[in-house]
Amino acid sequence: MKDIDWSKLTFSYTPTDYMVHCHYGNGAWGELQATKEMTLPIHVAAAGLQYAQQCFEGLKAYRRADGTIGIFRPEENALRMQASAKAMYMPPVPTELFLKVVTLAVKKNIEYLPPYGTEASMYIRPIMFGTTPKVGVSPASEFEFCVIVTPIGPYYPAGFGTTPFVINRHVDRAAPLGTGQYKVGGNYASSFRATEPAHEAGMGVLFLDSLEHKYLDECGGANIFLVKNGTYCTPKSDSILPSIINRSLMDLCRDLGIPVEQRHIPVEELGEFQEAASCGTGAAISPISRITDPDNGVVYDYGEDAGPVCQLLYKTLRDIQFGRSEDKHHWCYII
């Protein structure tokens, strides 16, 4: 294991030893390559650079209580990446190949996987992009599928904290019938003009639906859920990325006897909820202390401490990921 102060890891990139990649050309996937070189020669006219023909994923590996190493629900990431690839007119990476590349990337960098007990993990970033040189607007015929990994610390090194959010009606995250339900880079780059000013003010951004600006959409780059009288509520929309963590939390709610609603949530209903949180791979659950609606001069307050449902779901999910409790859904892929 590498000589790293695991307690000081943050959610940022730490260089590791190997990248694993696979080339697609002539209608077929090539052989896997594990290399210590973290850069690839790419033509400046590559379709991935010129026209953003790319997609990516994010998942994590954990050292578990029994000494095994598990990756959380990678098959679901493979399926989601296949959907994103099809939307961007790229060849989907078969699930078997996805799992093989991800597993090899973890194994080749195993000394960077944080030890059990630190609550740290290994973040896994698969990415695929078109490499064919293009000037005319048309899709690539050659692609590169790469996986890098990096050790990351717990999202809350000082404890399970809350973050304030602000509603932004002046930037749309994704258009109806657009790419909001896919994990593609353009969705995130186009949101920076809203998220970065908010981050500088110590807040996250809550985007509304792009058609009417009436309903909750997503929290920056994550899904949102809220708790109303003990019921787990999360927005329903074709423009929202289908978060694997959000779906897992809904399954856990059903296991725990917590009612679940996935529906349109109007802004005006925010005052009726007792808890709110964003959820995604990075933090799992990030409780929201308050949501400010600057256009209407309203602040919806949920408290400076995580609520009981957020705390219960966070502990339940983390215990499964780290092997401290039964994985009855078989979510953890043991390598």
- The reply to whether 183 belongs to the active site is yes
Q: Which of 2, 60, 183, 236 is catalytic?
A: 183
Backbone angles phi and psi of 250, in degrees to 5: -65, -40
Question: What tokens appear for 69 in the block?
Answer: 């190493």
Check if the beta carbon of residue 174 is closer than 8 Å to that of residue 210. Answer: yes
Q: Return d(Cα 278, Cα 289) in angstroms, integer.
A: 11
> Which is it for the CA torsion 170, 171, 175, 180, positive or negative?
negative
**Cβ atoms within 10 Å, residue 164:** 18
Q: How far apart are the first and last CA of the chain?
A: 17
Check if the beta carbon of residue 99 is closer than 8 Å to that of residue 333. Answer: yes
Cβ neighbours of residue 260 closer than 8 Å, sequence gap 6 or more: 231, 232, 233, 234, 250, 253, 254
Q: Return d(Cα 312, Cα 317) in angstroms, integer.
A: 9
**Catalytic site positions:** 183
